[in-house]
Amino acid sequence: MSVVGRVQSVWRYPVKSMRGEELEEACVGFGGLRGDRVYAIHSASAPQDFPYFTARNQGKLLLYRPYHREGSETDLTIEAFGGETFDVTDPRLLASAVDGLPDRFQLRLLKSDMRFRANLYVDLADGQGFGENGFVGRTLRIGPDVLLAAAERDVRCKMITLDPDTFEPNPQLMKVVTRRHEGCAGIYADVLEEGMIRPGDQIKVLD
């Protein structure tokens, strides 16, 4: 069993395509990080294979900031672009999200289990970019509790080209990832043992 790095930061994204929150610690269950991707916005006019309204449709969604209310993983307050706040189930939130867009968008809020953005950023001992690729097919222990099976590389989309602080696009980034890394960045992992995870936790390869 060898130490290959440490957790640099832990992130949770309560609503798909909205701003994330950096955590001092998080509970990892078999379904992933608790409180992550609790909701997504569904678009009735979107293609059936990806029926979601995201920052690809409305870039300012990246600047909407969800907050978990104390003691709840599903009860959220959303601070919208411009500073107005909404309960996550308030219909005015969806009206704000489509402000300035064509009338063709018909939105509703859904419970979500979609996960695409990174929950864990890691500092690997070898210092190599995309070093996580070498973990695929292996078992990782993170901190004292969490056991992960690194399953596959993550094929990325246009979302990674949008600056999360300004929603300004940088198309060149997608071209570089496609040309140098087959369009992949990061990896997916399955949770084998639940537990708490924190920045600074050691990452160990077990096999």
Select from 96, 34, 43 the least CA-distant residue to 65.
Answer: 96
197: pLDDT strictly greater than 90: yes
Q: Which domain holds residue 197?
A: 2-205
Indicate whether this model's pTM tops 0.85.
no
For residue 86, count other CB atoms closer than 10 A to its CB: 19
The tally of domains found in the chain comes to 1
Check which CATH number belongs to the domain holding 190 and give it.
2.40.33
169: pLDDT strictly greater than 80: yes
Beta carbons within 8 Å of 171's beta carbon, 6+ residues apart: 161
